[in-house]
């Protein structure tokens, strides 16, 4: 096994990525030598860039927006999780085979658990039905919640996603994002990028209660726009997605190096 790991992350835009910082902290803690580059890649060039990077002896790549589904199409060997998600965030080579996994969902569940939130038996409301929702649903369902409702601005997308993931073990429903809810969620997960993109955030009118836990996949040094709305509506317990980012990165790091890094990273060391 090489004692120097050449790693990177591809996506667009990529200049704000915290992944280089996170992976360098992991490596320093473990006494490993790595390089980790943030590489701007557009969708139409992903195949040639990924081929070139692995030819340049890169040992692993993270994949971020908007390339996760395109990267899925490149891989020869997909993990079960990746097959369920239809997208990947981690690439590596085994001999000449391009392998891929999606660590986002497991990273989310690990971060929720670290915050004392057990997904099992919860009534979960997932806002959004895009790639981020698809990437976390398999891991959420594996944790056996009582019910998962997918609410989306375009109800058809939510229905399609609910149908894709309907299983005997957990009730999976779809709803319009501005419709009144039939039941009170105990965990709300926001996978939409409306707040980050400065768009209006549409929500069900009876969404928030003081007993619910709110988790926004977005993260920032200030409070995210979504969590701000939740707090103003009386929600006491909320989190952004920085912990998930660190946890999913640790899972990728372990795949590439076989070393398990500590995810105890301070927010101020990153943002």
Active site residues: 68
Alpha-carbon 110 to chain mean position: 11
Decide: helix, strand or coil at residue 93: strand
Q: What is the CA radius of gyration of the chain?
A: 19
H or E element, residue 215: strand 213-216
Query: In the chain, what is the straight-line distance between the N-terminal and C-terminal CA atoms, in Å?
Result: 33
- Give the angle 143-146-152 at the CA atoms, nearest 5°: 90
Residues 6+ positions from 202 with CB-CB distance below 8 Å: 153, 177, 178, 194
């Amino acid at each position: 096994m090489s004692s120097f790991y050449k790693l990177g992350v591809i996506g667009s835009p990529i200049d704000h990525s915290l992944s280089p910082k996170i992976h360098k902290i992991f490596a320093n803690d473990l006494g490993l030598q790595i390089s980790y580059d943030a590489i701007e890649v557009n969708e139409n060039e992903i195949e040639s860039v990924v081929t070139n990077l692995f030819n340049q002896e890169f040992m692993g790549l993270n994949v971020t927006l908007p390339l996760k589904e395109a990267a899925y199409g490149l891989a020869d060997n997909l993990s079960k999780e990746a097959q369920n998600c239809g997208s990947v965030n981690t690439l590596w080579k085994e001999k000449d085979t391009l392998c891929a996994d999606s660590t986002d969902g497991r990273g989310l569940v690990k971060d929720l658990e670290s915050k004392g939130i057990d997904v099992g038996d919860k009534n979960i409301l997932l806002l959004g039905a895009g790639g981020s929702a698809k990437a976390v649903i398999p891991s959420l369902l594996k944790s056996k919640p009582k019910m998962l409702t997918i609410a989306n601005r375009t109800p058809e997308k939510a229905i399609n996603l609910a149908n894709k993931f309907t299983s005997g073990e957990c009730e999976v429903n779809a709803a319009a994002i501005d419709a009144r809810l039939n039941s009170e969620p105990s965990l709300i997960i926001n996978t939409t990028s409306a707040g980050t993109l400065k768009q209006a955030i549409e929500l069900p009118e009876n969404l928030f209660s003081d007993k619910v836990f709110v988790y926004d996949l977005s993260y920032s040094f200030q409070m995210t726009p979504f969590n701000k709305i939740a707090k103003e509506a009386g929600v006491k317990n909320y989190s952004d997605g920085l912990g998930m980012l660190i946890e999913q990165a640790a899972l990728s790091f372990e795949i590439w190096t076989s070393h398990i890094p500590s995810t105890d990273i301070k927010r101020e060391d990153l943002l």
